[in-house]
Amino acid sequence: MSDERVGTAGGVAQERDVAVWTEQGAARLRLVAGGQGEGVGSREAEMRRIAARLTRWVEGRRNRIGTGARDPHDGEVAMVQTVVSVAEDDAATGRRRLLCVLTEMLAEGSARHPLALSLAVRLLALGMPEGNARDPAPRSPLALVPRIQLRLFGRFGLSVDGVAVQFPRRPPRRLLLLLQWLAVRGERGVPAMQLADGLWPEAEGDRAQNALKVAMHRLRGLLRDPGAVVIDDGVVRLAAAAFTSDVREFECFAQKALERRASDDLEGFERIARAALALHVAPVLAGEEAAPWLAEVRERVGRRLGELTVALGRHLELTGRGEDARALYELVLEREPLAESVHHALMTLHLHRGQFREAIGAYERCAIGLLRGLRLQPSPQLQALHRHAVAQRRCESS
């Protein structure tokens, strides 16, 4: 089974589904609804067929890569696995979030397996509720995708209606900071006074508040939606239904994965955890100066990243996949070098395997990263592990 095809039947239909993801962006998407005028049974039958084909594709790719080897596109494979597991889940919001992520990947042309991901979108769309008394018509998948999509991991990016917004060489700095601040706060929003003081600290009297009002008006224009930025009881926020971001998706997936783990659904936990980690490609707004509001979200996301990574790594270790756990820890540390809990897990794994030199090397990399990034020393727990590794290394050499 090649990477270019999913299953053996329905190739024409697959090409038709993929063809709509053109460089003109997701705004041009027109997926055929499928199942219109047909009964619920036929829709469920099609969902089962697609799910079976995607399952075969995932199994084939796993077998082709081999046990213990790192798949460079494992994030996409994990997402497809997650789609199969939640397509008929009652938690429709989870399906919508998945649909948003897959839509953006296909629209940007960044997907390495567009046939598989387009079938995953198809499966999600078929599993969506078809409306209610006020909205009896079946909904297009695009109706479930927020118009405004923000990339906050790594370099900042903004898409509206599936089209990337191009900024000038000298972008409106404070306008973008306002958008980024509101995006990372999500539904909690930010008090207007705090925004005004943080973005215009030099302004006196009412000038900062007036500047904020002007910036909010300009931001609505940039987002092409007068209702995208709202203020309620003195708190400014982005309208929840109008936007999504990779940070928001990561936190939602991470929460869902940990809930699966708590309910002993370890297979579901692993799938969803891998899908969450695939979104975290770099620190939040990497390269931006760490203002207090940004430092807070980096710390929050970092804690969740560490918790999820360690939980998944421990699961891999307990199921006899220690090498996979090591690869996971190292991959996450490439993206987030300051994740101290992941350094701790990696050192502990090396010590359990008798790899004392590797444990010492892991500690040294952690110490250098913390000193350069935060001007901090490793935690007492890491220092204790380091002392133990050094002592064991000496015994081994004597």
- Looking at residue 103, what is its pLDDT? 67
SS3 annotation, 267-304: HHHHHHHHHHHHHCCCCECCCCCCCHHHHHHHHHHHHH
Domains of the chain (ranges; CATH) run 11-144 (no CATH), 168-244 (1.10.10.10), 337-398 (no CATH)
pLDDT tens for 283-342 read: 999 888 878 899 899 999 999 999 999 999 999 999 999 999 999 999 999 989 889 999
> What's the pLDDT band for 214 if we cut at 50, 70, 90?
very high
Determine the average pLDDT of the residues in 54-76. 68
Distance CA 341, CA 305 (A): 9
Q: Is 104 in contact with 112 (CB distance < 8 Å)?
A: no
Residue 286's identity, in one-letter code, is: A
CA 202, 203, 205, 206 dihedral sign is: negative
List, in order, residues 6 or more apart from 214 with CB less than 8 Å away. Answer: none
Residue 8 has pLDDT above 80, yes or no: no
Identify the CA nearest to 274 among candidates 108, 75, 60.
75
**Contact partners, residue 200, CB within 8 Å, separation at least 6:** 174, 207, 208, 211, 212
Predicted confidence (pLDDT) per residue in 337-356, tens digit: 889 999 999 999 999 999 99
Sign of CA dihedral 289, 295, 297, 299: positive
CB atoms within 10 A of CB 322: 16
Find the angle CA(163)-CA(295)-CA(231) to the nearest 5 degrees: 60
**396 confidence band (pLDDT: 50, 70, 90):** confident
φ/ψ (deg, to 5) at 167: -100, 155
By DSSP bridging, strand 243-245 and strand 163-164 are unpaired
Structure confidence at residue 65 (pLDDT): 58
Name the residue with higher pLDDT: 60 or 179. Answer: 179
Q: Is the pTM of this model over 0.85?
A: no
Structure tokens at 229: 């930025």
Which structure tokens are listed for 246? 């990779």
228 touches 243 (CB < 8 A): yes
Cα end-to-end distance, the chain, whole Å: 53
Cα–Cα dist 276/128, whole Å: 22
The arithmetic mean of pLDDT across residues 101-123, rounded, is 71
Residue 384 CB: number of other CB atoms within 10 A?
11
